[in-house]
Amino acid sequence: SQQGEEDPQALSIQEGENATMNCSYKTSINNLQWYRQNSGRGLVHLILIRSNEREKHSGRLRVTLDTSKKSSSLLITASRAADTASYFCATDAEGAQKLVFGQGTRLTINP
């Protein structure tokens, strides 16, 4: 089935550094979304990028989408300890409402 796959599975950086996570998917999409999950809690929506968009910003977040490569990246600039969480990409299929989630990237920000 269509699935977003995040890379790397785990990432550990120092506070203040930038964090980049990647997502690849298999089939054509309407949009791609990124979510954050703090340990054991519900997912929180971060950003949605449509298939006709190439880049989107929200605060310290920057998302890119390359539909020719079926990939997306999430950049968190000037990381903070509070950014420690798991990050998931989620894709839909053209014409569908269903979201399919990847397995996530576990991000740790060291003080």
Partner 1 sequence: EAQVTQNPRYLITVTGKKLTVTCSQNMNHEYMSWYRQDPGLGLRQIYYSMNVEVTDKGDVPEGYKVSRKEKRNFPLILESPSPNQTSLYFCASSFSGGQGAYEQYFGPGTRLTVT
Among 41, 54, 57, 80, the residue binding partner 1 under the rule CB under 8 A is 41
Q: Is 39 in the site for partner 1 (CB under 8 A)?
A: no
Nearer to partner 1, 35 or 109 (CB): 35
DSSP letter for each residue of 41-106: S--EEEEEEETT-SEEEETTEEEEEETTTTEEEEEE-S--GGG-EEEEEEEE-TT---EEE---EE
Nearer to partner 1, 18 or 103 (CB): 103
- Determine the interface stretch with partner 1 among 14-22, 46-54, 55-63, 77-85 (rule: CB under 8 A): 46-54
